[in-house]
Structure 1
């Protein structure tokens, strides 16, 4: 794979030129960006997946408890078309796996999907009049002018160290980080020192108006099933366990499971993988199947003994205060 990426370097140069040209046309307002009266908070990244966007949206929903919040997502790989609002009859095929995961967790929140973000926001304003819209995975979609932009980048692969697709993972230009109000370094070690935070901040070279925050993943103490049943780690001992991942970056998840001292076979699939009947049959040979929340919603009801592990972003008190203040200033 690495050799193929190196061979594809000329293609990445063409891609880079196209991305830079597109952004330039937005910068000079040849292409227009639409703003809205409703505060719009954009959460996104410069790379392809794996930075923790969905847990970040969920974190913001918790911070905004008590306010009338709506989530708008593209609904990647969904089977439906156009604007669609989630309801009790929705499923992962209609909404996409990540929006369906969020709706399951926060059914009281308005959630909609629409590849046309402008159309989606207009419909939300017309139908529910939210106090704030959380725009999921939209940093590179410049047709909408957000009120606040939150850019995510991972500790293990900062956007400063990356390169354009297909040689690297960047889908947007590094210089577009200038549009972010907040830059969040995700998936940090739990014990990241202040010295390392300063070093990373210096490397990212934020502008005077930008703030750099740091988060790490906090995993739930036990596994869950769809029925609400929990499973302790010691119940996996001496069991034949499959750990299934269909996410962009499974390394932190797998590292956490390895720390629990039970034996498992890791079956890794591509991001947003749609599990076939044959693959599900293979999983039935295991005593237990452990997976991520995102993968769980695509396999729910198709396997017995299927459990998932919840994950959340965790910030220091000072960084959470910064984030909370930025949001409340919009309301």
Structure 2
């Protein structure tokens, strides 16, 4: 036990009680969950911080967008606007949030991207403006019980699984571990490539203490793609990189870079960090201090969409900045099982098209 835990315990107990009561009211029907005619798939987690929700949403988009007209809906964390917004050519990280803007930047021609604090109000607006939409992906909506998802995917990281975590402020859980019982599938994310079957069995045994009978536990790693230059200037990516991040956890990313790149320096900001001109100065100083012939700044796609703001135009011209894409990496068996279950949930709503 950490020395300060006894001080936090009463607050954790109070928070746990409030969230349990809220969930109980939904379970018994005192609080109402709305079921929409259009199929809805929820991607979420029990914990605060990064569990890989955006890569999972992108994974589903890539698997299903050729067969279904998809819309994504999230709260739009960190945006400077309020209300329901459907992304268009005026969209930016400032008005819809960094992760929705990342999805819009990558898949805007394939999907409709919407944000709204009150998702229950946003879905009718999506349908009104895009009536041919036949699947909505609800990003980070596991605790948003005013909408009853048709299929709930719960993510938990290999590094900090929910069964070893505690509710805030003692830990990072938004609700008690028993909330996992609402999931139709649990995916352990950010798994190492050499994960043994014995270790998988141990994770499954611990997770299934909290899930409904028959709920599958799947495993996925992260696969980093070929970095690309944010502002194409014909520069070449070499071995020497300065890492620039504003994400929840950099451990997995750093580990993946070890064998391929020479990490000269890491400039790390908090998750969802809003970059400023002052930050641009820090980036420039870091490049001057640690850069050299062939050195580039390597960042995530989540950070990239914020750095493309006009106020950083000069920085992008002067300093070679590359973004590294990340994708969910399932083995074939787990990927097939998950997508078959998602497909089944869509068909059960009356959408008969086979994938």
The change in CA–CA distance for 1:195 and 1:231 in structure 2 (over 3 A counts) is farther
Q: Following TM superposition, by how much is the alpha carbon of 1:209 offset from its aligned partner in structure 2, in angstroms?
A: 3.3
CA shift digits 1:57-88 (9 cap, x unpaired): 00000110221111011100111111111112
Q: 1:226 to 1:25 in 2, by over 3 A?
A: same
User: 1:194: Cα distance to partner?
Assistant: 2.0
Moved more, 305-314 or 202-211: 202-211
SS at match of 2:214: coil
CA distance in 1, matches of 2:239, 2:3: 38
Q: Count residues with an aligned counterpart.
A: 325
2:329 aligns with 314
Q: TM-score, normalised by structure 1?
A: 0.93
Partner of 1:83: 84
Please list, as runs of the form range in 1=range in 2, the aligned pairs for 1:230-249 lying within 5 A after superposition.
235-237=238-240, 241-249=241-249
Post-superposition Cα deviations, 1:185-224, rounded to whole Å, max 9, x if no partner, equal 000111212222122111111432311111000011x321
Alignment-derived partner of residue 255 in structure 1: 255
* Residue correspondence of structure 1 range 179-258 to structure 2 within 5 A: 179-205=182-208, 206-220=211-225, 222-227=226-231, 235-237=238-240, 241-258=241-258
Counterpart Cα distance in 2 of 1:228 and 1:162: 43
- The alignment yields a C-alpha RMSD, in angstroms, of 1.8
Q: Find out whether 1:58 has 2:58 as its counterpart.
A: yes
The corresponding residue for 1:148 is: 151
After TM superposition, list the pairs within 5 Å mapping 1:1-331 onto structure 2.
7-66=7-66, 67-108=68-109, 109-129=111-131, 130-205=133-208, 206-220=211-225, 222-227=226-231, 235-237=238-240, 241-285=241-285, 286=287, 287=291, 288-301=296-309, 302=312, 303-304=315-316, 305-329=320-344, 330=346, 331=351
Name the SS of the counterpart of 1:281 in structure 2: helix
Distance in 2 (CA, whole Å) between partners of 1:227 and 1:185 is 35
Cα distance between partner residues in 2 of 1:292 and 1:281: 19
CA distance in 2: counterparts of 1:264 and 1:63, whole angstroms: 37
What's the offset of the Cα at 1:232?
6.1
Contact kept, 8 Å, 1:224 with 1:231, in 2: the verdict is no
Contact 1:46–1:174 (Cα < 8 Å) also in 2: yes
TM-score, with length taken from structure 2:
0.87
Q: Following the alignment from structure 1 to structure 2, what is the Cα–Cα distance between the partners of residues 23 and 211?
A: 23
CA distance in 2, matches of 1:174, 1:100: 31
CA contact (8 A) 1:6 1:167 kept: no
CA drift at 1:4:
5.4
Cα drift, residue 138 of structure 1: 0.2
How far did residue 26 of structure 1 move? Answer: 1.0
Q: In structure 2, do the counterparts of structure 1 residues 232 and 251 end up closer, same or farther at CA, with 3 Å as the change threshold?
A: farther
- Please give the per-residue CA displacement for 1:118-151, whole angstroms capped at 9, x wherever unaligned: 0111111222121110000000111100000000
Unaligned stretches of 5+ residues in structure 1: none
Q: Against the structure 1 CA distance between its residues 7 and 254, is the aligned structure 2 distance closer, same or farther, given a 3 Å change threshold?
A: farther
For residues 230 and 294 of structure 1, the distance between their equivalents in structure 2, rounded to whole angstroms, comes to 22
The answer to whether the Cα contact below 8 Å between 1:162 and 1:168 also exists between their aligned partners in 2 is yes
